[in-house]
Structure 1
Amino acid sequence: MRVLVRELGTYIDEKVMVKGWVHRIRELGGISFVLLRDRTGMVQLVYEGKVGFTQESVLSVEGKVRKNEKAPGGLEIHAEHTEVLAQAHADLPIPVNQEPEKLSLEALLDNRMISIRIPKIRSIFKVQSTILKGFAEYLRQQGFTEIKTSKLIGSGTEGGTGLFSVEYFDTRVYLAQSPQFYKQAMISSGLERVFEIGHAYRAEKHDTPRHLNEYVSLDVEMAFIETEHELMDLEQGILNHIFRLVKEENGEDLDVYKATVPTEEEVNRIPRVTYDEAKEIISREGGKKVFDINPEGERILCDWAVKEHGVDAAFVYAFPRKKRPFYAYPEGQKTRSFDLLFRGLEITTGGRRIHQYEMLLEALPKFGLTPEGLGGYVDIFKYGCPPHGGFAIGLERLTQKILGLANVKEASLFPRDRKRITP
């Protein structure tokens, strides 16, 4: 029966079977030392003479476990029987057994089928898996129901811009920018609290370290709220749960990146400032007057939060109406909406939504929209919709900022941007 590398410590001087990939081969004085990699770690195999397999070949090996302080992990296996399950060709396009920083991002992404074998890169997606687990786990504990909605839609949720069009039999449809309309339908169905983990698409011609055209959106919608601050409270609870799980389950992965997660105390003291207050802080701290919050302003505001509140994050709320979608709940020329900035980057957008039918009809023409153009969406409000709101967290951005990655594409398994549609 197969034994995983992390379990070998309980099999000292016993014969075991291990399976995995050849990470490195080193020959020294008639002895071959082979590092075998499985999903839990690496172990040194010891062979007499040369071996007949190549790096990245897949092996099944039987042998005795011995202590050796000089071996990785303090253990090694003296191989007695080896079966090559799959022999790898010798012409690897990129090395798997060196640090990914020695390769360009383009090389890593062009050879993504191979670069995801690099242990340090795999750590990114182990952390990401825990983020997904923590997000869903916490919301279920709070009485939320998970939903899955269509990504083929007849019109855009943000007013029709930034949409990818798709031929759908004899008509044209679009890839969804968000599940917003469906989330609102479901809270109005009586479920009250829903969440979705799914892809979202933005046909924006950005080519920056912070943008993807396809990303995973962690969406939440909740009925019977009064203000956007209830949503900020909920997000703080979600993040505390996620950060606690990542610290517990991904300590080694964090260490690989010399990364840390905020403590519960730090998350609970994230400051909340209005959009106008944020501009004043950015102007003062940055030494020049600003009229909007751009990426540089986001970094400055987070630096201020570290200095004044001891946490590298800030909520910004009360955004101008012209900067929010038509469904954002208005309050004069402002809206009951918010962003969360984390380590210098916006990772969340959300807020309270319009729920009154008449207010919605009044808002639509201001954004160049009509009830007819939105299909059945207006029926949600025509037939009784509770006060509600929600938000969406960008999975890749959150992963990027936890680990301190330079580019959000590193946090996407198979990123899609203006230039990349393969692999």
Structure 2
Amino acid sequence: MAKGMATEEAKQLMGAISESLAIATFSLDGEILSANQRFLEIMGYELGDVVGKHHRIFVDPGYAQSEEYQEFWKSLASGKSTTAEFKRFGKGGREIWLQGTYMLATDSSGQPVKIVKVASDVTASKLIATYNAGMIAGIERAMAVIEFQKDGTIISANQNFLNLTGYSLSEITGQHHSLFVGREYAHSEEYAEHWRRLGAGESMEGRYKRFSKTGEEIWLQATYAPILSPDGEVVKIVKFAYDITTAVHQADELEQALEASHKAKELEIELAKANEAERARKEMDLAIQELSTPVTPIWDQILLLPLVGILDSTRAASIMTKSLEMISQTRARIFVLDISGVATVDTAVANQLIKITKATQLMGCEAIISGLSPAIARTIVELGVNVGEIRTTATLRDAFETALASLGTRIGQSRQEEKGTALSVR
């Protein structure tokens, strides 16, 4: 009686496994003997399509002819189990990733009889992980990135950051962030509060003055992003930054030139000089606009435009032209417009920003505006714009996460559509 119950329980367990996992059996040299319904659904075949065929119908033709593939089956036949993620191809050449195990099955006398494969479909998560890795790599290429412990001790930094500051990685690892700030500021209550807030999990962003290894002044537009554990504890701080030193210095020079020109205007004899200074101011303003409106490809489907300084109607129109040209050239799917470096705009410029988001949408590119100040947000609302049509995030980090999630959702939808199409064909 007990044996009969155990046998029934075993059958129920195997039935449950067969419903949730893909299972196929092969001869010792790789000929397909059987496959359950789950396996057939994943691969897009009927049972009659695969039984009697060789396993190589599921792999790349080049790999099927390789010595590595031949050795794979020899190893299995010798009794060596293999567990890994396997790249396979379903009906019609559709790429599939399986997390599975190949194992040797023997008869009652211990003689090898067949190879059993048990697997699950991890295609969607594999593709999303690949896109995530690509996104991170794109950020690494475009931005200076550095990681800290909660107290500001440096953990690591990418090459962009090292190039910017002039240090090697070994020179800064284990040192404190105060290495990059002035002595007086490093001992200030403001600086201590900066790290207390980050350690408490609060993200921070803005324009920061820092110093290189040689003592040169560096200006960064940056976001400090606390990374949390599943329990909500801060495990480290990551800083994403781009160099705006040239733009800041040229803005200072411009301000000095304007002050000089204002004084010159008070003297009739200096009128000619004042006119020349005004012309130089306009040329410098255009140069600063060019430097501070870089439309940067972060990933092959994402563009980033970080804006810094004063934004007027002329510059906003130039931004729209550049952005639309880059979207057309790169066929970008997402356009991130970061205005955390812009303090305020008038209603005409705010209206121009709305037009930029609508124009990008007409080109099939989703627009995300990050870093709106309270003043800019109020100006947009006063325009009577339907804010539901505008996608915004509080920080540049949030924009990256939103863009990543959007790409991930499209991947998932694409996979579901492909699966639905395969099933309907069946």
TM over 0.5: same fold? no
**TM-score, with structure 2 as normaliser:** 0.34
Q: Rg: which structure is higher?
A: 2
Tell which has more relative contact order, 1 or 2 (C-alpha 8 A, sep 6+): 1
More helix by share: 2
**TM-score, with structure 1 as normaliser:** 0.34
